[in-house]
Amino acid sequence: MEHVLNLVAVHRVTDGGVSLSGTIRAVANGDRDAFSRLYADYSRMVHAVLLGRVPRRDVDDLVQDVFVTAYTRIRELREPAAFGGWIATIARNRATDYLRQSREQVELPDELPGGDPIEAETFAVLEVIRGLPEAYRDTLLMRLVEGMSGQEIADRTGLAPGSVRVNLHRGMKLLREKLGLET
């Protein structure tokens, strides 16, 4: 019975009012609508995790890879409440694989902004965030790129709200310093 999902102690509810455990059980039974709900709820978090690690041009493709992997392996997830952390780990591992493969192939510039100075500034700030410690980097990207609130970040990642608040606060402080905004 190791692969049977433990659905007992899960109380978290997805945005549509359906419990996370119910959604995951439905996905495990091949329900594509349930999968779409999971994607809607968690794709921004996965996008942020990948954006902090790999070139932007490949992030959308890797997000799709991560969700297909999650779909095919979802019966390995024993605790539905851990889904957020689980899929974030898949995303981090996928980014590591990607970077390993990329090193074996031709090196390309990380980002190729056009001549637009605003676009160049955006990529410059992204590069600074990528240089922050992992906990700050992921949390800040979820907040500043994906527009997630602190509570949403806590809900999706499984982190304690207090930890998210600290990560946001310290991450923003570091970012301000590196951008020369700190007075």
Residues that bind another protein (CB under 8 A): 3-4, 28-30, 32, 35-36, 39-40, 43-44, 47, 51, 56, 58-65, 67-68, 71-72, 94, 98, 101, 106, 112, 114, 118-119, 121-122, 125-126, 141, 143-147, 149-151, 164-165, 168-169, 172, 175-176, 181
In the bound complex, what is the minimum distance in angstroms from residue 62's beta carbon to another protein? Answer: 5
Comparison of 54 and 81: residue with beta carbon closer to another protein: 54
Tell me the closest approach of the beta carbon of residue 1 to another protein, in angstroms: 8
Q: Nearer to another protein by C-beta: 47 or 92? A: 47
Q: Which of 104, 51, 42 is nearest to 71 (CA)?
A: 42
Q: How far is the CB of 95 from another protein (least distance, A)?
A: 10
Tell the smallest beta-carbon distance from residue 143 to another protein (Å): 6
Structure tokens at 146: 């994906």
**Cβ proximity to another protein, 35 vs 83, nearer residue:** 35
**Contact yes or no for 26/34 (Cβ under 8 A):** yes
Tell me the DSSP string of 29-82.
Answer: TT-HHHHHHHHHHHHHHHHHHHHTTS-GGGHHHHHHHHHHHHHHHGGG-S-GGG
28 Cα distance to chain centroid: 21
Task: Return the H-helix or E-strand segment holding 127.
Answer: helix 117-130
| Least distance in angstroms from the C-beta of 43 to another protein | 7
Tell me the torsion sign for CA atoms 51, 52, 56, 61: negative
